[in-house]
């Protein structure tokens, strides 16, 4: 009986410790955010090193069935980190992939995390290789129907491959797979994704340097629910490729392609 109680108590104590780590960090993070406004770069860099150590710890500790809880907690931490524009302007976004190492290791089916991975790690941290590697690892745990709309992961991977690595062949395969996965569903959103992804793959098969494909891919970034900075970056890229972005009264974006690819 004593052995049984001990076997139950041990994981319970560890889980309480995990919960404690999560709960105590919220007031600490808020205090840290407030103090960072006037902190020197040297202090900020020390705090980044400390945060990286904490993320490494969270990546290695046993979860005893609380993987999703840890993933959600770290994603909240990431949102605070990524959203602090003033401090990120000083330190950059180098910790972005470290957050997703924990998040996607704990919950590879966390669909929203893949979109944030692409924007934060490829676009802002300038590490598309890390983003693609994490996506490829996570895709091993996904299928066309689990989780729902998992075809978006292939789309994000294709975006990174085309726009940030210039690997048109890999991007073509990713968009073709996204189209294949999305075609399994009859809802309007999935059918639209299947059609757009297939067109992008076809553009790339005919012309690996296709401006149409690149504009279409930046349009995908633009139409994600991203921050204003990301939208402006996408619009600048589309215009540099000869396209034009028109914002409709409803707040959506219409893309006008150049006369020639």
Residues 119-157: tens digit of each pLDDT: 999 999 999 999 999 999 999 999 999 999 999 999 999
What pLDDT score does 30 carry?
52
- Express as a percent the part of the chain with pLDDT over 90: 67
> What is the pTM (predicted TM-score) of this model?
0.81
The residue whose two tokens read 């914002």 is: 247
Q: What Å distances lie between residue 27 and 21, 22, 82, 138, CA to CA?
A: 11, 10, 17, 31
**Residue 93 buriedness (CB in 10 A; 0-12 / 13-18 / 19+):** middle
Contact 40, 29 (CB under 8 A): no
Pair of tokens at residue 148: 């729902």
pLDDT interval class at 227 (50, 70, 90): confident
**43: how many CB neighbours lie within 10 A of its CB?**
12
d(CA 180, CA 8): 46
SS3 256: strand
d(CA 216, CA 133): 23
How high does pLDDT run on average in the chain? 86
What pLDDT score does 13 carry?
47
Contact 149, 260 (CB under 8 A): no
93-118: pLDDT as tens digits: 999 999 999 999 999 999 999 989 99
53-70: pLDDT as tens digits: 999 999 888 888 899 999
d(CA 87, CA 111): 27
**Residue 63 buriedness (CB in 10 A; 0-12 / 13-18 / 19+):** middle
What pLDDT score does 257 carry?
94
Residue 34 above 60 pLDDT? no
202-225: pLDDT as tens digits: 999 999 999 999 999 999 888 776
What pLDDT score does 154 carry?
98
**198: how many CB neighbours lie within 10 A of its CB?**
17
What pLDDT score does 6 carry?
44
Paired strand residues for 244: 256
d(CA 254, CA 245): 6
Sign of the CA dihedral with 103 first, then 106, 107, and 108 last:
positive
What pLDDT score does 36 carry?
52
């Amino acid at each position: 009986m004593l052995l049984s109680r001990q076997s139950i108590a041990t994981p319970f104590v560890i889980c309480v410790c995990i919960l404690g780590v999560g709960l105590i960090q919220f007031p600490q993070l808020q205090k840290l955010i407030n103090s960072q406004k006037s902190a020197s770069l040297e202090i900020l860099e020390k705090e980044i090193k400390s945060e990286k150590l904490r993320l490494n710890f969270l990546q290695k500790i046993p979860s005893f069935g609380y993987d999703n809880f840890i993933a959600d907690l770290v994603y909240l931490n990431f949102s605070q980190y990524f959203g602090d524009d003033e401090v990120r302007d000083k330190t950059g976004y180098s910790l972005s992939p470290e957050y997703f190492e924990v998040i996607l290791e704990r919950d590879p089916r966390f669909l929203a995390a893949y979109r944030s991975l692409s924007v934060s790690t490829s676009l802002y941290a300038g590490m598309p290789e890390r983003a693609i590697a994490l996506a490829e690892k996570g895709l091993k745990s996904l299928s066309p129907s689990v989780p729902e709309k998992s075809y978006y992961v292939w789309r994000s991977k294709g975006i990174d491959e085309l726009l940030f690595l210039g690997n048109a062949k890999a991007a073509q395969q990713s968009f073709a797979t996204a189209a294949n996965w999305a075609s399994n569903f009859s809802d309007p959103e999935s059918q639209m994704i299947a059609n757009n992804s297939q067109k992008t793959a076809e553009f790339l098969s005919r012309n690996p340097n296709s401006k149409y494909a690149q504009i279409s891919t930046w349009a995908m970034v633009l139409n994600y629910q991203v921050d204003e900075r990301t939208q402006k970056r996408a619009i600048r890229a589309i215009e540099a490729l000869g396209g034009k972005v028109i914002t409709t009264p409803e707040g959506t974006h219409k893309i006008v392609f150049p006369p020639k690819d």
